[in-house]
Amino acid sequence: MRIVLVGPPGAGKGTQATRLAEKLRIPHISTGDLFRANISRQTELGKLAKSYMDAGELVPDEVTIAMAKDRMSQPDAEGGFLLDGFPRNVSQAEALDELLKTEGIKLDAVLDLEAPEDEVVKRIAGRRVCRKDSAHVFHVTYSPPEQDGVCDHCGGELYQRDDDSEETVRTRLEVYHTQTEPIIDYYRAQGLVVTISAMGPVDEVTGRALEALKSGQ
């Protein structure tokens, strides 16, 4: 299957992308991974992307699209792929359509993970990370530490990252609504959108997604 995964920050896209790609036996292609891989390998695209990032600028669509094209042309993606974070706007979606058309292939589905905005804010703003080991993550409501502000694993101080503040989350949501959300209507016009609730236990959401993709509803 060839799938595009969309949804607001905090909807669990990263977690679901990894799980769905494994279940469907297709590669998970994320924008972040593309940038990191190209920059670490010092490809021409990676050098170009880094020059924009170092200047504090957004990487132009054409660079992101070229990276995605290169990744989707690799042997492990011949049988399908799951795109996460790309396309991020209608221009990229149109470019992806043209790219796939030249290859004689098309998308099978656009999976839209839906979550109420207040819940998204609660999920992200409630996260607390250990200063000693960032792999230790807690949540003030869903998985609180035994002692407030103290990591259960190593005793390190728990803190809220700047990116997780409510103000920052709401800004990210606004960017999502204005830039990325319009691609849902774009793909809905093609009959590709499958919308599911991102609420509930991770396993339930994964099962819900697989069933929806299978039935196309």
From the candidates 50, 69, 132, 172, give the one annotated as an active-site residue: 172
- 127 noted as active-site residue: yes
CA distances from 7 to 28, 82, 145, 180, 198 (A): 16, 14, 28, 9, 9
Question: What per-residue confidence (pLDDT) applies to 216?
Answer: 67
- Mean pLDDT (the chain, rounded): 94
Q: What is the pTM of this model?
A: 0.87
Task: Find all residues with CB under 8 Å of 70, minimum gap 6, and list them.
Answer: 45
Q: What does the alpha-carbon distance between residue 137 and residue 145 come to, in Å, rounded to a whole number?
A: 9
Q: What does the alpha-carbon distance between residue 22 and residue 210 come to, in Å, rounded to a whole number?
A: 12
* For the chain, counts of helices (H) and of strands (E): 9, 8
Angle, helices 31-40/61-72, rounded to nearest 10 degrees? 90
User: Is 31 in contact with 137 (CB distance < 8 Å)?
Assistant: no
Q: Give per-residue pLDDT as tens, 84-142.
A: 999 999 999 999 999 999 989 999 999 999 999 999 999 999 999 999 999 899 999 99
- 172 noted as active-site residue: yes
- Would you say residue 58 has pLDDT above 90? no
- Would you say residue 46 has pLDDT above 70? yes
From the candidates 25, 161, 188, 214, give the one annotated as an active-site residue: 161
- 13 noted as active-site residue: yes
- 161 noted as active-site residue: yes
Token reading at 130: 């250990």
Question: What per-residue confidence (pLDDT) applies to 213?
Answer: 94
- What beta strand segments (E) does the chain contain? 2-6, 28-30, 81-84, 109-114, 127-130, 137-139, 158-159, 193-197
From the candidates 19, 88, 123, 128, give the one annotated as an active-site residue: 88
Residue 121: name the closest of 174, 172, 169, 175 by CA: 169
Say which amino acid occupies 27.
P
